Amino acid sequence: NTFKLFNCEDGIPTFAYSYEEAVNNIPPYLCNFQVMKIQTKFQDEGINKRTISLEDQKRLILEGKEIEEINYEGTELEKTVTNKGTNALIVKEFMEECIKDPNGVLPGKTIFFCASKAHARRIEQIFDSLYPEYNGELAKVLVSEDPRVYGKGGLLDQFTHNDMPIVAISVDMLDTGIDVR
């Protein structure tokens, strides 16, 4: 709670400085951001009898599942159900389409916002398995209860000031504002 952090009455701002003012200030206090929205067929259409292949339907029936009961909205992915291939496709497309660093090879500093800590760990594992040449340093999970995040030399300090990690994978953290070079 930012209000509590600065000993302010909850919900009552003491000063207003718009995002546009911060971006347009000379020198800028904030950099403009770009949202990259990557969606798969399952995220668009959900998971249900209509979107599940016949082969997968047969397998589910053999496992004793009722196909008619399978009905997940795309927004429920990673909250209610996990589709392993979706996360890998998102990471691959991100790496291909993202804004690159000055060398044009790696992404610029990026924050992935995940639905849960388990989702964040899966995304980190996918980065590690798809890009083993970076020895697990390309992307790191930064969550508030992990003591490795804080302090000089911690994961947040590394993300903010060092070349690696390039991708911070976050759950309910890094969404209020962060100064990263």
pLDDT of residue 130: 96
pLDDT of residue 74: 61
pLDDT band at 106 (very low <50, low <70, confident <90, very high): very high
pLDDT of residue 76: 58
User: Which segment of 47-61, 65-79, 116-130 scores lowest on mean pLDDT?
Assistant: 65-79
Cα–Cα distance between 171 and 121 in angstroms, integer? 10
Residue, of 155 and 41, whose pLDDT is higher: 155
- Closest alpha carbon to 165 in 143, 134, 144: 134
18-39: average pLDDT: 80
Collapsed DSSP state (helix, strand, coil) of residue 77: strand
pLDDT digits (tens, 9 = 90+) for 56-104: 888 878 888 888 877 777 665 655 566 677 889 889 989 998 888 888 8
82-181 folds as: Rossmann fold (3.40.50)
pLDDT of residue 83: 65
| pLDDT exceeds cutoff 70 at 174 | no
- Say if CB 46 and CB 40 are below 8 A apart: no
H runs (alpha helix) in 33-102: 41-45, 54-62, 84-97
**Predicted model pTM:** 0.64
pLDDT digits (tens, 9 = 90+) for 131-172: 999 999 999 999 888 888 888 988 888 998 899 999 999 887
- Closest alpha carbon to 166 in 143, 134, 123, 144: 134
99-117: average pLDDT: 88
User: Which residues does 118 contact at the CB level (< 8 Å), separation at least 6?
Assistant: none
Cα–Cα distance between 83 and 134 in angstroms, integer? 25
pLDDT band at 13 (very low <50, low <70, confident <90, very high): low
CA torsion, ordered 35, 84, 74, 117, to nearest 10 deg: -60
Residue ranges per structural domain of the chain:
35-81, 82-181
